[in-house]
């Protein structure tokens, strides 16, 4: 029987997209663009472990005359801290008298449960001729201290020196500029955080004026050390400077909105706001 011829292939017909396709694609593109622009939750995340502060430095940080205890008074559990700063200390003597060993031991003993943060503020005594410490050596000493904190598992934060409150006319005598610049240079060379307390405290003291600044004197005529009121005010100033750099730590500090506002506005504060 004759074979039935196979049907010839039909020519391929062009496929036409529906008229709505371009509109759909434009709509999807718009949705993707809007999604990319959607606001991201910018609230600072809470630090993974609570901080443990170790405050190192001279008498302007130490117990009974420095900002250190004022700072620690704002720390909330489970965060904690100690203040081994010592009157008369330099970057060299703090190591020589064993205080630095205490610092490193504190870091090593708390690193499993906390995030150890070591603040380092020297300069008042290093700048004195009797210290025998040049500006270059001062900076090198700060770098060495910070590196040892890192090696022990902690986080170093360098702090420029609290201003003295002696005036020449209507302005504070700024005699810690070189050592403050060296501290900043040390921090920048390591890529670590620093707090410019010298700049901030100078601005605040200039704003409140000589008469009010004298109300923070530990003793009559002592324009270096702080009475309890000064400890609280300048301790708060350090807290506020820190939280600008480390917003993740804000959960671990008590707020004092009234005091913080006064400091920011350059108004005299007692610490009892």
CATH classification at residue 102: 3.40.50.1110
- Spatial neighbors of 39 by CB under 8 A, at least 6 apart, are none
Higher pLDDT, 105 or 5: 105
Name beta bridge partners: 121. Answer: 57
Mean pLDDT of 215-237: 99
Q: Is residue 118 in a domain?
A: yes
The number of domains in the chain is 1
User: Rg for the chain (alpha carbons), in Å?
Assistant: 30
Q: Is residue 193 in a domain?
A: yes
Which pLDDT score is estimated for 201? 99
Q: Is 29 helix (H, G, I), strand (E, B) or coil?
A: helix
> CA–CA separation, 173 vs 164, rounded Å?
8
Element (DSSP H or E) covering residue 33: helix 21-37
Which pLDDT score is estimated for 48? 85
Higher pLDDT, 68 or 13: 68
Mean pLDDT of 52-63: 99
Cβ distance 249 to 259 under 8 Å?
no
Locus of tokens 């020519």: 11
> CA–CA separation, 67 vs 114, rounded Å?
23
pTM metric for this prediction: 0.83
Q: Is residue 46 in a domain?
A: no
Which pLDDT score is estimated for 31? 40
Q: Is residue 39 in a domain?
A: no
Q: Is residue 272 in a domain?
A: no
> CA–CA separation, 130 vs 120, rounded Å?
21
| pLDDT of 41 over the 60 cut | no
User: pLDDT of 63-113, one tens digit each?
Assistant: 999 999 999 999 999 999 999 999 999 999 999 999 999 999 999 999 999
Neighbours of 153 (CB within 10 A): 14
- Domain hosting residue 203, numbered range: 51-265
| pLDDT of 196 over the 70 cut | yes
Which pLDDT score is estimated for 44? 52
Which pLDDT score is estimated for 40? 43
Q: Is residue 258 in a domain?
A: yes
Q: Is residue 20 in a domain?
A: no
Q: Is residue 12 in a domain?
A: no
| pLDDT of 15 over the 60 cut | no
Burial class (CB in 10 A: 0-12, 13-18, 19+), 169: exposed
């Amino acid at each position: 029987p004759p074979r039935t011829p196979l049907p010839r292939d039909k020519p391929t017909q062009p496929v036409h997209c529906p008229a709505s396709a371009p509109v759909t694609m434009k709509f999807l593109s718009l949705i993707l663009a809007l999604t990319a622009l959607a606001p991201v939750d910018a609230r600072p995340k809470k630090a993974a472990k609570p901080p443990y502060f170790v405050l190192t430095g001279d008498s302007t940080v130490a117990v009974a005359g420095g900002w250190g205890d004022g700072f620690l008074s704002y720390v909330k559990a489970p965060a904690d801290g100690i203040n081994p700063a010592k009157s008369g200390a330099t970057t060299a003597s703090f190591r020589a008298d064993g205080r630095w060993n205490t610092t490193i031991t504190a870091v090593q003993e708390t690193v499993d449960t906390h995030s150890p943060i070591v603040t380092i503020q020297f300069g008042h005594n290093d700048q004195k001729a009797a210290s025998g410490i040049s500006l270059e050596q001062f900076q090198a000493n700060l770098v060495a201290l910070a590196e040892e904190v890192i090696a022990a598992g902690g986080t170093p934060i360098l702090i420029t020196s609290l201003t003295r409150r002696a005036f020449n006319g209507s302005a504070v005598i700024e005699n810690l500029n070189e050592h403050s610049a060296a501290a900043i240079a040390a921090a920048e060379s390591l890529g670590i955080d620093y707090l410019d307390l010298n700049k901030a405290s100078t601005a605040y003291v200039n704003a409140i004026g000589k008469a009010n600044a004298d109300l923070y004197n530990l003793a009559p005529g002592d324009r270096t050390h702080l009475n309890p009121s000064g400890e609280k005010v300048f301790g708060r100033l350090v807290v506020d400077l820190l939280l600008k750099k480390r917003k993740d730590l804000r959960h671990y500090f008590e707020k004092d909105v009234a005091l913080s506002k006064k400091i920011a506005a350059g108004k005299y504060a007692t610490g009892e706001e």
